[in-house]
A and B are shown apart, each in its own frame.
Chain A
Amino acid sequence: MTAEQIIFYIATGFILVSALMVVTTRNLIHAALWLVATLFGVAVVYATLDASFLAVVQVVVYIGAIAIMFVFAVMLTKRNLLDHVPQTNANWPWAAGIAALVGAGLLYTASQLTTFGAQRPALSGDSLMNLGKALVSPDAFVLPFEAASILLLAALVGAVYLVNKR
């Protein structure tokens, strides 16, 4: 096994174990911290895929902003609110069944792809430079990029409006 394979399989195991902890832990703070672990694993996976920019953005935006916002939200709501009752609703066997079915369906669909066992081609050019150019080039993705920025602005204004005490 090459170093790349070892890193990928360790990251995969780490992601799946910590994701399982996210959905099963009783204490929500611990669930949020397990989410941080999962996001770190996903950043490692991006790095193995040569997506260096996304690996950094994953750490800065997801772990630095989103996961910390979850920790804040957990702390702003009452501690141990649901600690003495089951953490899952009455329909959890159905939820588990649907999740297993969707997972099996995704795996089956993926295995039908002609590129399923594909090996990766060599990188063409500087992918970081290409990504930067694609995000601001008028004949590429400048419109979706601007739409995403307006969405973010609208969402943040909406969030401030929602929690503003009147």
Chain B
Amino acid sequence: MVPLSAYLFLSAVLFSLGLYGALARKNAIAILLGVELMLNAVNINLVSFWRYGETAQMAGQVFAVIVFAVAAAEVAVGLALIINIYRRRNNINADEIDLMKW
């Protein structure tokens, strides 16, 4: 039997890998890839706490389903923004998209 700690370890390491990707990568699409890794780490946590807690309470799994929906919405809007920026400025380097920086 795998203890809860193994799942928590997996999700903590996956979350920090995703955080590193979101903070360090230059390409805007790669930043979104890092955000996806973080959302997956959160989902693993939610489902494992559901499985190791009171399994008649479905809150953990329901929350994971809602995270799926939020992830789909985030990717749809994020990629639409990136493609729009690419069309206007021919560039998806997050360092150089600084119109709103002063």
Contact = CB atoms under 8 A, between A and B. Distances in A.
Interface of A: 2, 4-5, 8-9, 12, 15-16, 19-20, 22-23, 28, 31-32, 35, 38-39, 42, 45-46, 48-51, 53-54, 57-58, 61-62, 65-66, 69-70, 72-74, 76-78, 81-82, 85-89, 91-92, 94-96, 98-100, 102-103, 106-107, 110-111, 115-121, 123-125, 127, 130-131, 134-135, 140-141, 144-145, 148-149, 151-152, 154-156, 158-160, 162-163
A interface, over-half SS: helix
B15 A141 contact: no
B16 A103 contact: yes
Q: Which label, helix, strand, loop or mixed, suits the secondary structure of the B interface?
A: helix
Contact of A77 (B18, B24, B51, B86): B86
Nearest to B76: A159
A101 to B, nearest CB: 8
B8 A107 contact: yes
Contacts, number: 263
Contacts of B24: 23, 88-89, 91-92, 95-96
B97 interface: no
A45 B7 contact: yes
A88 B53 CA distance: 40
B40 A61 contact: no
